[in-house]
Amino acid sequence: MESYVTAVGEVVAAQAAAGRMWHEFLRVDALSAGLYVLEPGDSDPQQPHREDEVYVVVQGRGALRVGAIDHLVQAGSIVYVAAQAAHHFHTIVERLVVLVFFAPAETLEQPAAGAGNEAEEAA
């Protein structure tokens, strides 16, 4: 793929239609990108990733814990999280809509037979 163009609104609509917290919209060898949406009161189930990540908060407010440090995030916040760093969103006070970029592309774990795809569920 030489190029890809979309609008945030289109990605938000696709994520809503899929009905999942996580919606991947781009994947090439060097990176992958998706949209992660958490509502107030939601629990963030993600585990450390093998890849570096950049979060761009499009909408909402909450906190992101990386290691033992809490970072308040809101629309416009950009956060880098190193590969293997323990992290999760919490204290979501306003619907959190986050663009997520993995480099290289996120490794997707294969679910056990009969299990749901948790790797797709959590960014």
Q: Is residue 112 part of a domain?
A: no
66: domain CATH number? 2.60.120.10
The predicted pLDDT at position 109 comes to 66
Domain count, the chain: 1
Q: Mean per-residue pLDDT for 66-75?
A: 97
Q: Residue 60 above 70 pLDDT?
A: yes
Residues 5-50 have pLDDT tens digits of 999 999 999 999 999 999 999 999 999 999 999 999 999 999 999 9
The one-letter amino acid at 40: P
Predicted TM-score (pTM) of this structure: 0.85
In a domain, 64, yes or no: yes
User: Can you give the residue range of the structural domain that contains 43?
Assistant: 8-107+117-121
pLDDT at site 108: 78
Distance (Å) of CA 52 to CA 12, 13, 56, 59: 23, 26, 14, 22
Question: Three-state SS across 89-114?
Answer: EEEEEEEEEEEEEEECCCCCCCCCCC
Identify whether 46 is part of a domain: yes
Provide the CA 14 distance to its chain's centre, in angstroms: 15
**CA-CA distance, 35 to 83, in Å (whole number)?**
19
For residue 3, being part of any structural domain is answered with no
